[in-house]
Homo-oligomer: A and B are copies of this chain.
Amino acid sequence: MPDLAPPTVLRIAVASEWVDYNNHLRDSFYLHIFSLSVDGVMDMIGMGDAERRATKTTIYTLEVHLNYMREVKEGEEVEVRAQLLGFDQKRFHLFLWMHTKRLGEAPAATSEFMLLNVDTSEGAKPAPFRADVAHALGQLWEKHRHLAKPQNAGRSIALPKK
């Protein structure tokens, strides 16, 4: 049987500078934790900090969607799981869940990212992934293509219809 759970890409405690006056994680710092988690995915596909510097390539965030479901408090440890929703020659599409022990399987928040490979050798230009990165994305996709589409993937924002 293949491993059918999205892998954990980050565990981190909520820092005191990330919370509001109620000691709850502020909206922008949910994204900060998801953004640190994307760094974890970059490490998995051979686009860690050292490789990015050595190859003069980087990853730009093009677009993000966030759903806030439950509060998280200062000092709580959060766990972020990631699922690859797809990729092409120069982009990859990620979905992430934030969990805590207290909340169990009910996520505190979800996030969706569209990310772009960029060549920084002369200015900054969109570019195809290096062959080894494309291979790593392909291998991840072979595992993740069997996972169910996450409930919040592909959402757009609108007031509920009356």
Residues on A facing B (Cβ under 8 Å): 22, 26-29, 31-32, 34-35, 58, 60-68, 71, 86-88, 91, 93, 112-114, 124, 153-160, 162
Chain B nearest Cβ from A125, distance in angstroms: 13
User: Can you give 26 contacting A-B residue pairs, CB < 8 Å?
Assistant: A22-B58, A26-B35, A27-B35, A27-B61, A28-B29, A28-B31, A28-B34, A28-B35, A31-B31, A62-B67, A62-B68, A63-B155, A64-B65, A64-B66, A64-B68, A64-B157, A65-B157, A71-B124, A87-B159, A88-B160, A91-B159, A93-B158, A113-B157, A114-B157, A154-B158, A156-B156
A26 to B60, CA, bound (A): 10
Chief secondary structure at chain A's binding surface: mixed
Copies per complex of this chain: 2
Q: What 5 new A-B contacts, CB under 8 Å, besides A88-B159, A153-B157?
A: A28-B31, A86-B159, A87-B159, A91-B160, A93-B158
Chain B residue numbers with a CB within 8 Å of A157 are 63-65, 93, 112-114, 153-154
Chain B residue numbers with a CB within 8 Å of A156 are 65, 154-156
A75 to B58, CA, bound (A): 22
Chain B nearest Cβ from A122, distance in angstroms: 15
A27 to B113, CA, bound (A): 11
